[in-house]
Homo-oligomer: A and B are copies of this chain.
Amino acid sequence: MSYKVIEGGVTAAKGFLSASAAAGIKYKDRPDMALIYSQVPCAAAGTFTTNIVKAAPVKWDQDIVYNKPFAQAVVINAGIANACTGEEGYKYCKETADAAAKILKIEADSVLVASTGVIGMQLPMDRIEAGVRAMAPKLEGSLESGTASAKAIMTTDTKKKEAAVSVELGGKTVTIGGMCKGSGMIHPNMCTMLGFITTDAAISKEMLQEALKEDVKDTYNMVSVDGDTSTNDTVLLLANGMAGNPKITEKNQDYQAFKEALHMVNETLAKKIAGDGEGCTALFEVKIVGAESKEQAAVLAKSVITSNLTKAAIFGHDANWGRILCAMGYSGASFDPEKVDLFFESKAGKLQIIENGVAADYSEEEATKILSQPEVTATADIKMGDAQATAWGCDLTFDYVKINADYRS
């Protein structure tokens, strides 16, 4: 481990500025737009929702990430997702990019856009454009500005989500920082929610995309709040090269160190999304160990964190381990239920609950104490090999239902 966790988020890396504004798109009296800007053009990587129903900004960004050499800014709004909005919605992406390009004096096809919120409504373009004009003069590279942006992109999130690390590459300090938002409709596949990672590393577009694509599998794609894969899932990773490190163009040692550092940022953000799932009271981590392959372990871990019954039991601090074994059983992955050991763990201790598929002799009282912590881990050993995987979810609560029964009103 060669990286160091540092303070900050999307403005932590050299040359990245941000701003935010209260544009009144849907929320009242709170910032709901953010702008990320790099002083020089960036190599841009991105991963996007696998949902067939893709929001307009996803289509816009895919075009830039896949077909254009550089990106230099990102305009983000909360409140309206610009999904299921047809050609009109796509036109609004272009108009947003045009407005930002004009005031920032860059090319419109280097302006990425991202939206989150209600599906099916059109963006109020007058407010979006006014927001862009308000933010541009306020761009700055302070950590406070990054934090303000992380707050501006929240919807039902209750906490802002930032992470940053630094790593030495070729004698130069490279920084990677990011922010994201999550909360509901969170079950990323291939990619995730909205995440924005910036780095001053010098790295080719190909290597950047490779590093991101590989790492989302182990981070964002291992998170689920409610099993619903959003229409807007997007992670963008911008690298502007201002750290001055020897440019990474192949999978050398620097690439590995960069990827390890990137993983730390992504994993931290992914866990923050799970731990702030809509209405949740606990981060629920599930580890499958002793698997034959990482894929098998991942399928099992994700099946457990998406089980409504398991999630409700976690909310109730109930060691209802049968539900965990049940969710593993219908996952589609094969294993021998009669070999499974299961442990619950938190700050309050660690306890074996199942031994070889049947109940171990444990104290329900102690189990409840362990499950009453804000971060709870269940580890299942399936005794087939050495592979493992970890997934992150949260409990299912009254507030999840409350939030989603009247989200639009």
Contact = CB atoms under 8 A, between A and B. Distances in A.
B404 A313 contact: yes
Contacts of A318: 405-409
A243 interface: no
Contacts of A118: 322
Contacts of A313: 404-405, 407
A396 interface: yes
A386 interface: no
Contacts of A230: 326
Contact of A323 (B228, B329, B409): B228
A370 interface: no
A397 B119 CA distance: 22
Contacts of A142: none
A227 interface: yes
Contacts of A52: 328-330, 334-335, 337
Interface in A315-352: 315-316, 318, 320-323, 325-330, 334-335, 337-338
Interface size class of A (residues with CB under 8 A): 35 or more
A400 interface: yes
A53 B326 contact: yes
A231 interface: yes
A306 interface: yes
Contact of A308 (B308, B321, B356, B409): B308
A134 interface: no
Contact of A329 (B53, B329, B338): B53
Interface stretch (A83-91, A105-113, A147-155, A164-172): A83-91
Nearest to A329: B53
Contacts of A401: 312, 315, 396-398, 400-401
Given A326-B231, A329-B231, A357 B404 contact: no
Given A84-B322, A405-B316, A184 B309 contact: yes
A220 to B, nearest CB: 15
A405 B81 contact: no
A405 B226 contact: no
A269 to B, nearest CB: 22
Contact of A358 (B86, B335, B402, B408): B86
Nearest to A405: B316
Contacts of A125: none
A120 B322 contact: yes
A229 B326 CA distance: 7
A268 interface: no
Contacts of A175: none
A378 interface: no
Interface in A93-125: 118-121
A405 B318 CA distance: 7
A185 interface: yes
A128 to B, nearest CB: 19
A289 B120 CA distance: 22
Nearest to A233: B330
Contacts of A227: 227, 306-308
Contact of A400 (B312, B323, B403): B312
A50 interface: yes
A135 B307 CA distance: 37
A173 interface: no
A373 interface: no
B119 A326 contact: yes
Interface of A: 50-54, 81, 83-86, 118-121, 184-185, 187, 189, 226-231, 306-309, 312-313, 315-316, 318, 320-323, 325-330, 334-335, 337-338, 354, 356-359, 396-398, 400-409
5 contacts: A53-B329, A119-B323, A228-B309, A228-B323, A229-B329
